[in-house]
Chain A
Amino acid sequence: MTAAGATALERPARGARARELAGRLPFSPWHLVLAPAALVFAIPLAWLLLSSFMSNAQINRFPPTIIPDALHLDGYRYVVENALFPRWFVNSVVVSGVAVASNLVFCSLAGYAFARLRFRGSRVVLVLLLATLVVPFQLTMIPTFLVMKQLGLIDTLGALIVPALVTPFGVFLLRQFFLSLPRELEEAAWIDGCSRLKILWTIILPLARPALATVAVLTFLTVWNDLTWPLIAINSDHTYTLQLGLATFQGTHRTEWSAVMAGNLITVLPVLLAFLAAQRTFIRSLTSSAVKG
């Protein structure tokens, strides 16, 4: 009782002092905590951007300088002329582009079939597909390498594309979304004699844009950022993706940090731009499964 009384008496005084302090600031006092916290996350990225525009001489200078003393493009020139970064960029675009497109097509088809069509074995197959959601990649990578070798795809972009063509996550996500749509939407078209494919294309998919965006975003993010599988499946440098190229380039250019950072910026820029352009979609995609449980 007395303890509670004491704190109750103290509270207004403390609140008043805080309010007084807050009143003197031209902004909310929360910024005093929020800004430094956000800076911790931003500074490494700012350093990546700034140092990619420095000359090696400036990077090696002591004490270090923060602002590039001129807009040096040496690093960028180096990675374009003396490394295969443009080639790797194209490879990454091809692999992730094909993966996104094929995931949208195949996951839609399978998701629709599991949501709406009745066929023998559908439950068993769906359960098997769902089970693969939790299979860690380490368990499958060695035999996947052997399969790709049998198919003659090792050291080609095909080895990177084929395993990424369709994901169980995409199938499951779209199935759940299609199940949430009312059946009545399709019935009129059915009676008019539309085929299943046409209904999916003209009625269902336009309504499924948010779910399709989620599939596209997550596919792009995982395929673009992957290092492990390209490292295993690719040997020749002209078939590298950006991630693999960047990792290798850093290993062989330990002291040319300006070029390494230029290459690094090229590697992260597409994801950063995609994220900033579609932040809401990104965040909704990443949290949807977590919060719904």
Chain B
Amino acid sequence: MAAGAPSSGAAPARARPLERLLGETPSAWLFIAPAVVIILGLSLVPMLWSLLLSFKASDLVTPSRWVGLDNYAALAEDPQFGAAVRHTLIYAALFVPLSIAGGLALALLLNRRVRFIGLYRTLVFVPFVISAAAQGVLFSFIFDAQFGVANAVLDAVGIGRQGFFQDPGQALYLLVLIGLWAGIGFCVIVYLAALQDIPADLVEAASIDGARHWGTFRHIVLPSLAPVTVFLLVWQTFQALQLFDLVYVSTKGGPLQSTTVIVYFVYDQAFQLFNAGYGAAGAYALALGLLVVGVLGGLYRRRRERVA
């Protein structure tokens, strides 16, 4: 092909053996070398290294000791890890469906031609580009039990002041609320893009056939949104299970460890308590959960492609 021809024509004869060994365009390796070294060196290698670490007792400083599956066994019985899993699952169980349902509702609302629609879309989406650290700091201020504007408003309308981040019964749900404020925008733009991809004549044909608004929505719009909904389910679940930055900034896992999530547990074990092997085991337990979600999403996609 065009790619190989000039180099085999121009190259001197003694380059041939090397060329045969590396393929038709050995210089291609120079093109990919930086990417390969960095990506494989700092992703694939560490991933396997982590797996090895999870079978060891290691404090990252002194020589480590092989302990087999002890870390995993300890994890299964560790009430702190159990609590972290529980908090993560509560967060995910609220954040994922609410962000997707809310995102769809807002996208349907925003999918029309009225004045200022661009401004509305921008405002709904803008929190998504703001860092979790900045969100955490901003909402720590708004929900500050003493100086926060939220309590002032609740006071004014007669509901009474709340503990918010100081209340172990409220902190996790507050994190869900902040997560939704920042995360719905992504679902909205994905749904908006998908809605605009639905052929207009399909919707039109349905209404000519006498379909009502609800009927069109139920039988035409909703089915064509199924693939992006599955994508969002997987994506948002990944986000929820990997929650960390927001927790670190706004609650540090507190109060009374009511918001320790899995990644916070891993971070704490590996970098605060120097139980690197134990932390790595926690990370692998989380990765297993992510793998299950990802595989389910992949299976759905494969089935759809077979049908189509």
A contacts, CB < 8 Å to B: 27-28, 30-31, 33-35, 37-42, 44-45, 47-48, 51, 59-60, 62-64, 106-107, 109-110, 112-114, 116-122, 125, 128-129, 131-132, 134-147, 162-163, 165-168, 171, 183, 186-187, 190, 193, 196, 221, 224-228, 231-232, 243-244, 246-247, 250, 255, 257, 260-261, 264, 267-268, 271-272, 275-276, 279, 282-283, 286-287, 290-291, 293
**A37 and B2 contact, CB distance less than 8 A:** no
| B276 CB within 8 Å of chain A | yes
A contact patch SS: helix
CA distance A291 to B227 in the complex (A): 8
B contact patch SS: helix
Distance between A104 CB and nearest chain B CB, rounded to angstroms: 12
CA distance A286 to B152 in the complex (A): 37
**B50 and A282 contact, CB distance less than 8 A:** no
**A221 and B129 contact, CB distance less than 8 A:** yes
| B3 CB within 8 Å of chain A | yes
Which of A47, A60, A117 touches B147 (beta carbons < 8 Å)?
A: A60
Which of B2, B6, B26, B126 touches A45 (beta carbons < 8 Å)?
A: B126
Q: B21: which A residues are within 8 A, CB to CB?
A: 120
Q: B1-29: contact bitstring with A at CB < 8 Å (1 yes, 0 no)? A: 11110100000000000000111111111
**B130 and A27 contact, CB distance less than 8 A:** no
Distance between B144 CB and nearest chain A CB, rounded to angstroms: 7
Q: B44: which A residues are within 8 A, CB to CB?
A: 128, 131-132, 135
14 contacts between A and B (CB under 8 A): A64-B152, A119-B22, A132-B39, A132-B47, A135-B44, A136-B286, A140-B46, A166-B35, A168-B43, A221-B129, A225-B131, A243-B245, A250-B140, A264-B138
CA distance A90 to B34 in the complex (A): 26
Contacts A110-B34, A121-B23, A139-B284: A257 and B115 contacting too (C-beta < 8 A)?
A: no
Q: B280: which A residues are within 8 A, CB to CB?
A: 142
Give the top 3 A-B pairs by smallest Cβ distance, nearest first: A120-B23, A143-B46, A113-B31
CA distance A32 to B32 in the complex (A): 54
| Count class of interface residues, chain B | 35 or more
Distance between A230 CB and nearest chain B CB, rounded to angstroms: 10
CA distance A141 to B238 in the complex (A): 17
CA distance A246 to B134 in the complex (A): 8
**A247 and B294 contact, CB distance less than 8 A:** no
Q: A243: which B residues are within 8 A, CB to CB?
A: 131, 133-134, 245
| B222 CB within 8 Å of chain A | no
| B127 CB within 8 Å of chain A | yes
**A116 and B3 contact, CB distance less than 8 A:** yes
**B43 and A290 contact, CB distance less than 8 A:** no
**A38 and B286 contact, CB distance less than 8 A:** no
Q: A134: which B residues are within 8 A, CB to CB?
A: 290, 294
Which of A137, A142, A165 touches B276 (beta carbons < 8 Å)?
A: A142
Q: A268: which B residues are within 8 A, CB to CB?
A: 130-131, 134
| B249 CB within 8 Å of chain A | yes
Distance between B34 CB and nearest chain A CB, rounded to angstroms: 5
Q: B181: which A residues are within 8 A, CB to CB?
A: 40-41, 44
Which of A35, A48, A275 touches B138 (beta carbons < 8 Å)?
A: A48
**A290 and B193 contact, CB distance less than 8 A:** yes
**A282 and B38 contact, CB distance less than 8 A:** no
| Nearest neighbor of A33 in chain B, beta-carbon distance | B109
Contacts A117-B25, A119-B29, A143-B49: A44 and B138 contacting too (C-beta < 8 A)?
A: yes
**B138 and A163 contact, CB distance less than 8 A:** no
Q: A64: which B residues are within 8 A, CB to CB?
A: 149, 152
Which of B123, B137, B284 touches A260 (beta carbons < 8 Å)?
A: B137
Contacts A260-B137, A290-B231: A119 and B26 contacting too (C-beta < 8 A)?
A: yes
**B147 and A34 contact, CB distance less than 8 A:** no
| B119 CB within 8 Å of chain A | yes
Which residue, B133, B136, B141, has most C-beta atoms of chain A within 10 A? B133
**B136 and A247 contact, CB distance less than 8 A:** yes
Which residue, A131, A250, A261, has most C-beta atoms of chain B within 10 A? A250
**A140 and B50 contact, CB distance less than 8 A:** yes
Q: B244: which A residues are within 8 A, CB to CB?
A: 228
Distance between B266 CB and nearest chain A CB, rounded to angstroms: 6
**A62 and B152 contact, CB distance less than 8 A:** yes
**A136 and B242 contact, CB distance less than 8 A:** yes
| B189 CB within 8 Å of chain A | yes
| B93 CB within 8 Å of chain A | no
Contacts A132-B44, A147-B46: A27 and B115 contacting too (C-beta < 8 A)?
A: yes
Contacts A131-B44, A228-B244: A247 and B120 contacting too (C-beta < 8 A)?
A: no
Distance between B192 CB and nearest chain A CB, rounded to angstroms: 8
Which of B109, B133, B156, B287 touches A139 (beta carbons < 8 Å)?
A: B287
Q: A171: which B residues are within 8 A, CB to CB?
A: 35, 39
